[in-house]
Amino acid sequence: MNNQETVTLSVEGMTCASCVLRVEKTLKKVNGVQEANVNLATEQVSLTYDPTKVKLPELVHAVDDAGYKLIIPEPVTRNLKPVVTKEHTVHDSHFHHREESFQKLKRDFLFSATLTIPIMIISMASMTDWFMSWSPLSMDDVNRLLLILTTLIMFAAGKRFFSIAWKLAKHFTSDMNTLVAVGTGTAYVYSAIAVLFPSWIGIHHASDHIYFDTAATIVTLILLGRLLEAKAKSRTADAIKKLVELQPKTARVIRNGNEMDVPIDEVVKNDIVVVRPGEKIPVDGVVINGFTTVD
C-alpha cells in the first residue's frame, strides 16, 4: 500500500452510465489497480494503482481493448507518475485532448451532413416522375451515386461507431455504438447488394429496396447529438477548470521545526499546515490551534 499512487486521467469514448461501469470494471481487473472511479460528466477517471505492479501504458492498452481511450498527459508519460508541480499540467492536458476530440467530432458531423443533404434530396426526388423525366441519369446511375456518397459517410464519419462496436463485440458486450453500427450497417450493406448484385437477393427493381438515405441520416443525427452533448460537457469542464484555478498551488508546512512551501500534492497525513491571515486553506484538515481570517 505504501507504493500506491493516485492520478486523474481523461477517458474518451464514453457515452452513458454503462460505459462508466465498463471502464471501471476493466481497470479494476488489472493487477495492481486498487481503485478506479470514473466521472462521465468530466470524462475523467481517478485511478489509484501500484506502480511496481502495473505501468500506465498497460492500463491504456486495457482500456483501448475495451473500446475506449485512456489519455496519459506528457509529463505522466515521461515519469510514469502524476506530475502536478507545474501549474495545471494534468488539467491542461485533459482540456487539450477534450478540445481535440470535440473538433474531430465537429469535422465528422460537418462532413456527414454535407453529404447527407444531397443524398436525401436525390433519394426523395428520384421517387417522382418529373425528376426522372428530365434527369440525364438513369435510375441505376442515381443508385450508384447514392452508394458512393453513403460509402464516404460510413467509412469516414461513421467509422467510429463500427470501430467501437467491433471492440465491444470481442468482449461479448454492446452499447449504443453497437446499435448504430448494426442498424446503419445492415441498411447500407443490403442497399449496396441491391444496387451491385440485385440477383443475389432476387431484386428486379433496386429502387424499391434502397435505404442509403436512412443509413446516412442516422449517422448524421447521432453525430449531431454527440456534438451537442460534447458542447454541454465542455461548458461543465470550463466551470470545473475555473474552480481548479482557485486552488492554491503550494502549502506551507512545518517539518523538522522549519516552515517550508511544498506543492500541495506533497502534503502528507499528519503534516502541520500553517495558514496565515488572508490566505486560502490549501488542503482539508483539522484546526489544532490559533485563529485567523482566511479566504
Alpha carbon dihedral 144, 145, 148, 151, in 10-degree steps, equals -90
Residue 272 bridge partners (DSSP): 254
Nearest Cα neighbor of 60 from 27, 102, 84 is 27
Are 59 and 76 within 8 A, CB to CB?
Answer: no
At 4, the amino acid letter reads Q
Q: Provide CB contacts within 8 A for 40, sequence distance 6+.
A: 14, 16, 17, 19, 20
Nearest Cα neighbor of 277 from 261, 260, 292 is 292
How many other β-carbons are positioned within 10 Å of the β-carbon of residue 27? 23
pLDDT score for 191: 92
Residue 254 bridge partners (DSSP): 259, 272
Report the Cα 223 to chain-centroid distance in Å.
13
Cα–Cα distance for residue pair 291/295, rounded to 1 Å: 13
How many other β-carbons are positioned within 10 Å of the β-carbon of residue 193? 16
Cα–Cα distance for residue pair 75/81, rounded to 1 Å: 8
pLDDT score for 190: 92
CA angle 216, 221, 226 (to 5 degrees): 130
DSSP 199: G
pLDDT score for 278: 84
pLDDT score for 32: 87
Are 159 and 221 within 8 A, CB to CB?
Answer: no
Question: Does the predicted TM-score (pTM) go above 0.75?
Answer: no
| pLDDT (tens place) for every residue of the chain, 295 residues total | 457 888 888 888 887 788 888 889 999 989 888 889 998 877 888 888 888 888 888 898 888 888 888 888 765 444 444 444 444 455 566 667 777 888 899 999 999 999 999 999 998 888 777 777 777 878 888 899 999 999 999 999 999 999 989 988 888 888 888 999 999 999 999 999 988 888 777 776 656 678 999 999 999 999 999 999 888 877 777 777 777 777 788 899 998 888 899 988 888 888 999 998 888 888 888 999 988 888 7
Cα–Cα distance for residue pair 164/158, rounded to 1 Å: 11
Cα–Cα distance for residue pair 103/231, rounded to 1 Å: 10
Nearest Cα neighbor of 65 from 180, 171, 158 is 171
Cα–Cα distance for residue pair 203/193, rounded to 1 Å: 10
pLDDT score for 274: 92
HSE (side-chain half, CA atoms, 13 Å) at 125: 17
pLDDT score for 199: 77
In order of 71, 76, 121, the CA distances from 275 in angstroms are 35, 30, 68
Report the Cα 13 to chain-centroid distance in Å.
3
Cα–Cα distance for residue pair 63/66, rounded to 1 Å: 5
At 155, the amino acid letter reads F
pLDDT score for 161: 93
Q: Provide CB contacts within 8 A for 83, sequence distance 6+.
A: 73, 75, 76, 89, 90
pLDDT score for 204: 65
Q: Provide CB contacts within 8 A for 169, sequence distance 6+.
A: 178
